[in-house]
Structures are given as C-alpha cells and as structure tokens.
Structure 1
C-alpha cells in the first residue's frame, strides 16, 4: 500500500481532516496539527500538498501493521525477520526528475526556537561495501541544496559514513519522503544491519520493491526522493530541535548532505512528522516494545508490553506477565532495563490488568504494591540522552514497580466483575 492509498483509507474511515485553505509551512501548520491531533491533508501548504499526523494513534498504527492495538508487541516479537526485496526498473517517483531546490518543498519550521526548517519524515537510505541501511534522521535545511543531518553514534548510518570517510569518500544517499507507511515503521525499527526492507516485507506479507537512483542507491517507491551525498568532511551546527520529550535537544556539529536531484510523483504529497508529537513517539518508541517483550520472556512468562504515552512512548514501560513464581515481577523489571537501556520506569502487572489503560495501571499500583517490598531502584544507571532530568554524564535513577499479586494471597485481590 502506498501513501496515497493509505490516506484514501483514512478518508473512507472518517479519520482524515482535509484543509483547503492556504497554510504556511513556517509555524502555522505545526500549530494547526497540534490542535487537531488527527491525520491531516493540507491541500495548499506553502503551495504544495502535505500530510501531517499520518500515524497519530496506536489504533492507526495497528492498521498499518495489520494487528489489533493490544497485540502489537506479541505480533512483532514473534515475526520472522525475512522477506523478499525486488529491484525494479522504474517507479512512480521518477515521473519528475529535476535539480535539487529545497525551497520548492513545504519543509516546516515547527517552533519559534528551531534552528531552521526541518525534514523530519525523511528516511536516509545508504549503501557502502555491499551493505544497505535505511533509517530516520532529522535534517535541518541550511541552503538551497544542503541539509545538516543528526547522525547518532554508533548507529548504522553514522558507522557507514565513518567507514566512507576512512576511505577518503563521501557517502551516497537517497532520502525517501512519503513511502508505504509499513516502510516508515520498518525504517524506525532497529533490525540486523541491512535488513530494514526485508523486515518491511515481513510486516507487509509481500515483496518490497526498490528502484535505483542515478547515483546507484536503491530506494522504495515514494512521493518524493532526494539524491545526494553525505560530505566527507563538511559539518555545520544542527539545532536547536525539539525531540521526543517535547524539550529542546542541544546544538551539535553534524555532517552536511549536498543534494543533486529531486525525484517525485506528479502533484506529490510531502510528509512531515511533528517533533515530540504522537507520530514521532509511536514510530520511535513502539519498535522497542517487542525488544523488551523478548528480553523479559527469558526470565518470566511475559504476555505483553507497552511504552506508555505519559512516558513519551519511550521512557516508561508497562509489562503484563503470568506470574508463576515469587520474584518473577522483579526479574521482569531487571530484564526490561537490560533490553531497553533508555527506560526510566517499569511497572509489572498481572494478566488481569489492561496495560493500555492508565487507570488500570494505577489501580494495580494502588492495590497491589507494598512500597517497602515491591520497589526496585537502580541508581547511577545510564539512561536516555533525551531525558532532560539525566545528569551531565548521562546517568539517572531507574525505578521498577512490581504490581503483581502475591501468589499465596491471590484470593484477597480477586475483583468483583458482576
């Protein structure tokens, strides 16, 4: 399913808001999108069609993945990482090919203190020494055909660029905007190096097609593709930029990408992700849920995991287990922190608690926790660089709450149902 087909599906379900009036990509579109919090199609965003809040809820993401909202982590945890990738000769994205000029795209400035206009839904596809990678990177516009991209060490794009530099080369890229939403999710997931498109094929249940850009990089069909190269030595200041917690990340020197060409469909739809918004949080956080579930399964009968919205879908986790031994809850806490080091808080509950319901989670804490016995505290642990409360050295205190029922007193916790 392409982006257009997915948006048509959203429209048929009554989920899509369409805005006909002209809207500026400088601050105005972000303000409107934050107020509406639903998928939006701007028909004239600085002169072009654009979508925002595309995957703005767990329910919409579940439709992308073809699974119920409460079954996402179990489904992904058990998904075989194998699929078919085909290289094809042509693509709708090649309907128009022109010299790169970023001023022709409705690239958004989101907040007053932003360092500039940012491409936020761009998937950078790279290939080096026979290995292909696809991943999200924020890119700040610094010129008509130049952006500065945040490359996080030691992640794959950073390492490929480092290897290219060691050989005296830049790193060729294709920047994909507006592909199949399944590919968005796959590119946000950390899989084995070079297997993002195989993972997308497994999610989709069918082959993923790639086509070759003129610089040799193979990319999936999309609304817009930018062709260029991450410069070997040129860097620029990147930021300020609002990250997943809704707070500003710090300014850094980052590599510059010089763009040569823009490929796009006739009347393309530009896709943008609101920094710190629900789409940002879901795409960045949900891929960790199956990772945590697999990790906890090593020590307990784990049934489900969710990263909670109040924890920015990144810092706080709720885990459902079938408790069979005393201590299972605490082991689950430790395993979760090991599986996802960015976690700051973990709550473990029994199967009868709906972990998607924050009231249910609070109920479990209120009625099943003895704070002197059921609290696990880890001081001085490395946490997330995105946590504004972390110390300067990146450490913080992590808390686990074992909100499971004692095995010997389960009858005392039985809830009235009728």
Structure 2
C-alpha cells in the first residue's frame, strides 16, 4: 500500500492533511467526500490514516497495473492462479482497538466503524476474504455485518453447527489489489490467489496463531474468532448514502494484534467514491463475461451516479437488431442487484454521463427500446425495494437501428 501511495504522490494525486484531526468529529469524512484524490492524514487521533485510496477508475487501473481502457476486459480474463508464498508465523500482541483511529462518519451512525478491514476466515480447509463493516464495541470486540448467504456468513454458521467459533483475521492497509480481490466474486477460496495474480503472480503471506493466512505486508492485523454472541449493529450509511437499519449481528472477539511501528490506517467513506468503485468494478468483469455470451461486448461500467452498484452502461458492437435486449437480460442475470441497464454503441463512451444521455435522447424509442421487468429480485440496499423483497428492473436499448446508422451517427471532422 505504501508503494502505491508514493506512486500516486508522484503523480500529484495525494493530498497531505497535516493539521491534527479527530476520528470522532466527522471532518475526515467530509474531506473525503469533497475529492477523488487520496487523503493522507498525518495526525488523526495520534496516528496516520489514508482515505480515497482507489476512488476512481484511473486510480484503480494504476493500482492494478492495467490500462484503464482495457481494465474490464483484462479482469474478465482472470485465471485465479497466482502463487501464495507462506513466510511463516506472524507475531501478535494483546489487542487494543483504541490505538487505531477508527472513524465516525455520519451523525446517526451507531458509532465508530472499520470500513476497509478485509476479513480473512478459514473453515474446513477453505479460506475466504471479504470486506465487512464493523462497529467498535470496546477495545477487543466489534459487531460485524455479515450479509446473509455470503461466504463468511455460511462459514460462520457451519462453525456454530459444529460447536466451534470461526477463526478470522482482519487486515487493514493491504495493497489495493488485495482489497479489490476481496470484493470480487471469485471461485471458492481463490481470493488470495486472485490477489497474487493481480500483483504480478505472487503474494507473500503470514500465518496467524489461529491458522488464518494474511498478506505479509499488511499495516494492521487483528486475529480472533466469531462465536455465537450477537448484538445490535447499525444504523449505518451504506452504498446509496441512506441509513441501513439496526440488525442483530455477530460479535468478533479479537485475541491478537499486529501493527507496523508507524502503521497507516485505511478507511473507506461509506457511500463515497471509493466505496462505489469497490462495490461496482468487481462486478464489471462478471457482467462482461455474461454479455460476451450473447453479443460482442466492448466495455461495462457501473456508474457512480448509480451508487456504483445499481446502474450499468454496456457498450456493444451489434450484429443483429436484438443484441441490445439480449445484453440487457444477460447483465441482469449476472448481477441480480442491477436495477437499470443502458446499452450503447461503440461510438458512445460508457464512462461519460453526457455521452450516455445523448444516446438515450437520440436513439431510444420508448415503445420499442425499453424493457420493464416486474416482480424480480433486486438489491436489499435499494430504498425502493418492496416489502416482499422484489423490485422493478428497466433495460434501455440506446443503440442505433441496424441498417439506419447514417440517420443516428454524429457528424465529425
């Protein structure tokens, strides 16, 4: 992570915040919301911290070493076969969360939350990695939001059925490739291998005393267990910028802690640009592969205006008139949380909202090009979700009519 920060600093993409800040006054959150650049806090609660590490596609492409124009296609070709090198045991000390500048973001949040902690968990020989928001309860415990049906949730339930606790380790301050891999739907247990692939082929890890493997260069590692205890978690702002409700969630009890002597804490602004990038970009390769099965796909973008999660713009090269609608259906199947999909031609930049709106304005006939699908599963994060868990999805085919391209194509010099 440090090497990446310095790389971005040389490009003028780091803002140094040298005046002292408090993790409790929400000023850091307000500053992060006002810029896409990396914010490097030199003194927040007596420690160093970073926000907006990968708050736009350009930063993500620099972190992964992939040209921005080819980002989605390259990620769609992943093989998840990186090499994991075990460098031995990681020495731990007594945990003390008060040493870490865990931030309070919005007035109605339940408290101070870890938002960039990658939780590595291990059960029955399989290790998973994913990000979970965690409410600090005291110096050794947090309440973790484990989304129902996701891998950590399933592993935890299996451990409880066996009368055991799930061993975990939370990593804060890893290379962005590790964070990105943990946010991506990969084959079971392949997050570390995927991170290794993104890093050039190899990742070095250390083993915690509970058997969980973590990246060797992490700034902070907290090891512990998720047992049967639950407590209230929330309210908390999620990806849509609205408050998520209070739920009964599992408690993680930390039993060990490692930090670099001069550690840099990483925090993600809830509902901010980095949150949107990490929510949306990992789904783009999955959608790309699905659409490639029905037509020639050029690019996929989950837009910031769509919370990085609910809206997709798909760029295709049509060969038949129905390709646009086929692309829409493939996208909805690949990412069930999608709410609205717009399909555009090769001459439209899917990353440019102006260009996309132009395509909708000049190439869409409502009775012919708009699909409305009712009574389908949507995202639990969408405030419009109905009481029965269903929602309405809309697909917009904003492509030119085949054989009539000259009537739609823009004049150029």
Query: In the alignment, what sits opposite 2:317?
Result: 322
**Which SS does the other structure have where 2:373 is aligned?**
strand
Task: After superposition, give the CA deviation of every residue in 1:345-365 in whole Å (9 maximum; x if it has no partner).
Answer: 001111111111111111111
Query: In the alignment, what sits opposite 2:214?
Result: 219
Q: Where does 1:38-77 land on structure 2 (aligned, <5 Å)?
A: 38-77=37-76
Q: Does 1:160 align with 2:159?
A: no
Q: Where does 1:129-208 land on structure 2 (aligned, <5 Å)?
A: 129-208=124-203
Query: In the alignment, what sits opposite 1:355?
Result: 350
> Pairwise CA RMSD of aligned residues?
1.1
Q: Where does 1:12-411 land on structure 2 (aligned, <5 Å)?
A: 12-26=10-24, 27-89=26-88, 94=91, 97-221=92-216, 222-231=218-227, 233-411=228-406
Shift in Å at residue 384 of structure 1?
A: 0.4
**Which SS does the other structure have where 2:287 is aligned?**
helix
Task: After superposition, give the CA deviation of every residue in 1:300-348 in whole Å (9 maximum; x if it has no partner).
Answer: 1111110111101110001111100111111111111111110000011
Shift in Å at residue 37 of structure 1?
A: 3.6
Shift in Å at residue 272 of structure 1?
A: 0.5
Q: Is the 8 A contact 1:70 1:356 kept in 2?
A: no
State how many pairs are aligned. Answer: 411
Separation in 2, partners of 1:383, 1:153? 15
User: Structure 1: which 5+ runs fail to align?
Assistant: none
Separation in 2, partners of 1:313, 1:215? 35
Q: Is the 8 A contact 1:405 1:413 kept in 2?
A: yes
Separation in 2, partners of 1:365, 1:220? 45
Q: Is the 8 A contact 1:85 1:198 kept in 2?
A: yes
Task: After superposition, give the CA deviation of every residue in 1:29-80 in whole Å (9 maximum; x if it has no partner).
Answer: 2122223442111111000001111111111011112122232211111122
2:6 to 5, 8, 11: 8
Q: Is the 8 A contact 1:305 1:319 kept in 2?
A: yes
Separation in 2, partners of 1:158, 1:146? 18
Task: Indicate the larger mover: 98-107 or 114-123.
Answer: 98-107
Shift in Å at residue 214 of structure 1?
A: 1.8
C-alpha change, 1:359 and 1:36, in structure 2 (3 Å) is closer
User: Structure 2: which 5+ runs fail to align?
Assistant: none
Shift in Å at residue 90 of structure 1?
A: 5.8
Separation in 2, partners of 1:196, 1:23? 34
Task: After superposition, give the CA deviation of every residue in 1:96-139 in whole Å (9 maximum; x if it has no partner).
Answer: x4211111110001111001100000011111111111110111
Q: Is the 8 A contact 2:89 2:209 kept in 1?
A: no
Separation in 2, partners of 1:310, 1:29? 22
Separation in 2, partners of 1:211, 1:121? 20
Shift in Å at residue 89 of structure 1?
A: 2.1
Shift in Å at residue 28 of structure 1?
A: 2.2
Shift in Å at residue 209 of structure 1?
A: 1.0
Q: Is the 8 A contact 1:19 1:41 kept in 2?
A: yes
Task: Indicate the larger mover: 128-137 or 209-218.
Answer: 209-218
Separation in 1, partners of 2:297, 2:407? 23
Separation in 2, partners of 1:198, 1:301? 29
Alignment TM-score, normalising by the size of structure 1 = 0.96
Separation in 2, partners of 1:64, 1:267? 22
Separation in 1, partners of 2:334, 2:169? 31
Q: Is the 8 A contact 1:59 1:69 kept in 2?
A: yes
Task: After superposition, give the CA deviation of every residue in 1:218-266 in whole Å (9 maximum; x if it has no partner).
Answer: 11120000011111x1000011110001111111101000111210111
**Which SS does the other structure have where 1:8 is aligned?**
helix
Q: Is the 8 A contact 1:285 1:307 kept in 2?
A: yes
Alignment TM-score, normalising by the size of structure 2 = 0.97
Structure 1 runs of 4+ with >4 Å offset: none
Separation in 2, partners of 1:317, 1:77? 16
